[in-house]
Every structure is written in C-alpha cells, then in structure tokens.
Amino acid sequence: MSTPAAAPPLPIHTAIDRPHFALQFDDYHQQYDACVLGMWVFLVTEVMFFGAIFTGYAVYRMLHHDAFAMASNELDITLGTINTFVLLTSSLTMALAVRAGHVGNSKRVGQLIVLTMILGATFLGIKFFEYYHKYEDHMAPAFGLPFEAPKAVNDAGLAGPFQLFLSFYFGMTGVHALHMIIGLGLLSQFLPRSSRIAPAPGAAVLSALNIEVVGLYWHFVDLVWIFLFPMLYLIDRSDTI
C-alpha cells in the first residue's frame, strides 16, 4: 500500500483569500465583522454620552441666550478655524493609512500614522494655548480660580450664565481633548509594528483591520469637533452686544 503524496503548497491567491484569524472565530470574515461591529457599538455609547452634553448645552443656551452669545464672542475663532482644518486633515491621513494597511504598504502606513499623530498633537497644542489664554484672562471657572467677566457682562447682570457657558466650553472641549489623547495613544501602538506589517497577505490584512478599527475611533473624535466648533464658536458669533 503506497503512502499518499504530500499535498502541494497552497497557491498565493489562496493565502490571500484565507488570511489569518483568531482561534475563537470560524473565519476571517467573522472576525472582521465582529471587530468592526464591536467598535460601532462602542461608538454608539459615545454618541449617547456626547449627545447628553450637547442637549444640556442647548437647553441652557435657550435659557441664557444673551449671556452665551457674549461668551461665545470671547472665543478665538481664528484658532478654532485652524484647529478644524488640522483635524479634518488628520482624518484624511488616517483614511489613507487604513488604505495603505489594506494593500500591505508598511512604510506608507508608518508615515501616515506619524503625520496623523503630528496633526493631532498640533490640535491639542493649539487648544491648550486657548486654555492658557483664558486662564490669563481669569476666564477659567474651575478649581477656585478667580473669575472676571467683561464689564458689559457685569453691567447686564449676566456674569453667572456667562460663567456657565465657559464651564460648558472647558468641559466639552476638555472631554474631546481627552479622547484625542486616547486616540494618539492607540495610534502610537502601530509605530513599532508598522515596519513589521508582514509581506504575507493574511498578516497584512489583519494589521489593516486593527488600523481600520482605530481609524473609526479617530474619525468619530473628529466628527465630534465638527459639532463642537459651530456650537461654541459660530452660532452666536454675530450676536455681539
């Protein structure tokens, strides 16, 4: 009885069609769907979190429109606009990094992730500069620091609601900045591995999935700012008093 011949190695296209997947999944497609669905479920909870904050801001803005308009005009719209451009550009570089991961271009992935992180750090630097400027003007209503409203606000008896707007401003943008810092931490994990996105097609696709999941988080954080910017900086910009 002859021994059966060993099976020939799988052709390269089969390796591409059957990328690696974790043991708890039946196949790669199930793993992909589970990972992406899990991130979307998490983002839904984030939508509820930020939605509650936005709703609170909208209610108090309706109750104290004049004071919120005065306070909005104290914000630096130039820096806010620059930050919006910076963050939208970071979304582009993040999307390009995901694409580069899917095609297995590890060098390009590393370059785009570094660029995305630089843009994210630039956003945070500009935002902290805004915070420091408000701190110097005694408009940082926290930790028992002295608070000074503009004379027009005090004369109108709107110092309390004016301070409430700034509390929303620091709270909302501060939570957003925290999410940005978390996003930078998630992106940093790919830097030492970007040079090791394996040429084996399966490993490259798997690495691209990891980048894609983090990319969804990054895009969500950028989207939150797209709501924060007009809400805080633009809506009441023309209502100067």
pLDDT digits (tens, 9 = 90+) for 24-51: 666 667 777 777 888 999 999 999 999 9
What was the pLDDT predicted at 8?
46
Q: Is the dihedral of CA 160, 164, 165, 167 positive or negative?
A: positive
Pick the CATH number of 25-234 from 1.10.10.10, 3.90.226.10, 1.20.120.80, 1.10.10.60: 1.20.120.80
- Long-range contacts of range 231-238, CB-CB < 8 Å, 24 or more positions apart? 231/54, 231/57, 232/72, 232/75, 232/80, 232/168, 232/169, 232/172, 232/173, 233/72, 233/75, 233/77, 233/80, 233/81, 234/77, 235/72, 236/65, 236/68, 236/69, 236/72, 236/73, 237/72, 237/73, 237/77
In the predicted structure, residue 136 carries a pLDDT above the cut 50: yes
Q: Where are the domains of the chain?
A: 25-234
pLDDT digits (tens, 9 = 90+) for 166-222: 999 999 999 999 999 999 999 998 877 655 544 444 444 446 788 889 999 999 999
What was the pLDDT predicted at 3?
54
What was the pLDDT predicted at 31?
76
In the predicted structure, residue 20 carries a pLDDT above the cut 70: no
What's the pTM value of the predicted model, to 2 decimals? 0.82
As a whole-number percent, the residues of the chain with pLDDT over 90 amount to: 54
